[in-house]
A and B are shown apart, each in its own frame.
Chain A
Amino acid sequence: MFDPAFLFAGVLNGLLAGGIYVLVAVGLTLIYGVLHIINFAHGSLLMLAMYAVFYLWRLIGIDPYAALPAVIAGAFGFGFVLYRLLIGRYNHGRDENILLITLGLSIVIDNVALLFFGGDTQTIDVPYAGTFVEVGAAFLPLPKIISFGASLVLCAALGLYMARSDMGKAIRAVAKERQGARLVGIDVENVFAVSYGIGIACLGAAACLLMPTYYVTPSSGHAFVLVAFTIVVLGGMGSFAGAAVGGFIIGITESLGGLFLGEQLGQIGISLIFILILLLKPTGLFGSKA
């Protein structure tokens, strides 16, 4: 059990999973950093995107990786409209209110999925799923490696967009000082909607990268929501670097927890990290304020 090769494989597997978690967490932390809201529907929206990827493959035969641009665009549009129609209208006042509204949203999404898609577990059989790559002493599934690379590329692209583009600069300005941003003529409401859209677009990308090796059920959102919050809290709410580092730490924690504590008890690591971080260092590793 404590064989170093085994441990090495566990860490590598965790890193690969963490690479995709980073994408999920970046979306969440962007929404928090700009809008100062906690998007409890994040997991459910990811689940919805995963079903979109599944049905694109099942009905039209589109490979999950080939679906990336379409799903990203669709998720962005969905998020943008959702913000305009629902979230944006109540994005003020007590912070619990928006938490409760996004909770209501996640209840609706989860059960609409259950009603229309049924409770069965769905997977995509890509032809390359059984291909393994030998890395040192470990054998890693090829799709996990592709997803890992794609996730890093997309995160880098998002980082570049945030750093260079006009919209990226506007988003960062609003995140820092929304009054000031408004005064210099930035359309703050539009920036909010775009930020929420980008956050959900990250989920669309994550869904495409997850589906070749994961499964989806209507309760998948549940499994991801606490993972995503843990990563974001661990890294520091609103911090991109934090989301990246947190994603890898949580990926490895999950993988090693499952290895050493078993399938059931292994999940406890994530919840415990979440509690401990909130109790001991609520600003996380990279956050400036709680």
Chain B
Amino acid sequence: MSRSVLLCVLGLAAALAYPLLVPNYLVTIGMLVFFTAFIGQSWNIAGGFAGQTSFGHVVFFGTGAYTSTILQVTYGWNPWLAWPVAMAAGGAVGWMIAVLSFRAGLRGSYFALITLAFAEVFRILANSVPFTKGGLGMLIKADPRPLNFQFKDPIWIYYLALLLCIVSLLIAWQLTRSRFGARLVAIRENEDAARALGIDVFAEKVKVLTLSGAMCAAGGTFYAQKYLYIDPGIAFGVDKSVEMLLVSMVGGAGTIFGPLIGSFTLMGINEVTRWLASVVPAFKNVQPLSLIVYGIMLILIVARLPDGLMSLFRRPAAKPPPRHA
């Protein structure tokens, strides 16, 4: 235990010092690592800990991004005030999808597919209704003041992403030691057995998807404030859903540090392919190349390393049984 505490303190110190030592370009990459780890963790809480694999998590991300952006652009709200409202909206969408799907008894692949369809419905709606400005997308007026949730120096948005990531790690850590978390793991391992033990499976699954939705929506607002632009393809496109799923699966679904390790790995692959593309002219198209590597990694992880890269760091059988909180 003391060794892992030491590692966490060292890691935190490194993360805090990092942006002071490197050029702005690398600060932004660091920010993306922590941001992706954060939204990945929101997927991991539902998909990893509770075993509710989702293919459409972007629906929460987009709900958060659009809620805060509409409140800000159309109604003149301060983005910091709009942030909790966006989270509440994401939580509400998570609650709605959970109640509908779990009431209907959807499990496994069927749940994954219905979340994909929900994201698709939201994408088409965002493309069509007037208050999202349709396919044109929404621009947030640049006004870089901290009070406005916009920062001139990338270092502040980096620290904010780091803070979000730490909060998400703490939430995941709580899940490993609380009764709520233990119930989720029981549901993941065997839903019928969990029900037989007296766990209210439906209520727990609704709770976890609401929490996950609210977290993911917080990421949506963060993204909109960072790039000051949002459109239906970004907000509800399948790419972000896959990204959240990938970082968790690659790092280790259902583990505290899985999404962070996955996010580091994917960003590393991204940078390596970017470098390859600059050296080998045949690879000039960077994005498909890194996605091909991601896809192969996903297949290999599911097939060969179901606990993700995390399991490489852990000696077998070193995991103590969960204690009662």
Task: State in angstroms the CA–CA spacing of A209 and B303 once bound together.
Answer: 35
Could you list 18 further interchain pairs (A-B, Cβ under 8 angstroms) beyond the known A264-B127, A279-B104, A280-B104? A86-B299, A96-B53, A97-B306, A100-B249, A101-B303, A103-B245, A104-B297, A107-B294, A108-B295, A111-B287, A112-B288, A233-B113, A262-B128, A268-B125, A268-B128, A272-B121, A278-B114, A290-B105
CB closest chain-B residue, reference A267: B124
Also in contact, A114 and B288, with CB within 8 A (given A95-B108, A96-B112)? yes
User: Counting CB contacts under 8 A, is B7 at the interface?
Assistant: no
By a CB distance below 8 angstroms, the chain A residues around B245 are: 100, 103
Asked whether A282 and B105 contact (CB < 8 A) given A99-B112, A265-B128, the answer is yes
B295–A104 contact, CB under 8 A?
yes
Report the bound CA distance from A42 to B85 in whole Å.
Answer: 39
Contact B124 A101 (CB under 8 A): no
A226 to B296, CA, bound (A): 23
B121 touches A108 (CB 8 A): no
Name A115's contact: one of B100, B134, B249, B285 (CB within 8 Å). Answer: B285
30 cross-chain CB contacts under 8 A: A86-B299, A97-B306, A100-B53, A100-B302, A101-B298, A103-B242, A103-B245, A104-B296, A106-B295, A108-B295, A108-B296, A111-B291, A114-B285, A115-B288, A222-B238, A229-B113, A233-B113, A264-B134, A268-B124, A271-B117, A271-B124, A274-B113, A275-B118, A275-B121, A278-B104, A278-B114, A279-B101, A279-B106, A282-B105, A282-B110
Q: Is the CB of A274 within 8 A of B114?
A: yes
Main secondary structure of the interface of A (DSSP, over half): helix
Residue A162 CB within 8 A of the other chain: no
Say whether B155 faces chain A, with CB atoms less than 8 Å apart: no
> A271 touching B242 by the CB < 8 A rule?
no
| B199 interface residue per 8 A CB criterion | no
B83 CB to nearest chain A CB (Å): 29
A90 within 8 A of B: yes
- Considering only residues 95-140 of chain B, those with a C-beta below 8 Å from chain A are 100-101, 103-106, 108-110, 112-114, 116-118, 120-121, 124-125, 127-128, 134-135
B289 at the interface (CB under 8 A from A): yes
With known contacts A108-B292, A115-B289, A267-B124, A275–B109 Cβ distance under 8 A: no
**B103: chain A residues within 8 A (beta carbon):** 279
Question: With the chains together, A104 CA to B295 CA distance in Å?
Answer: 4
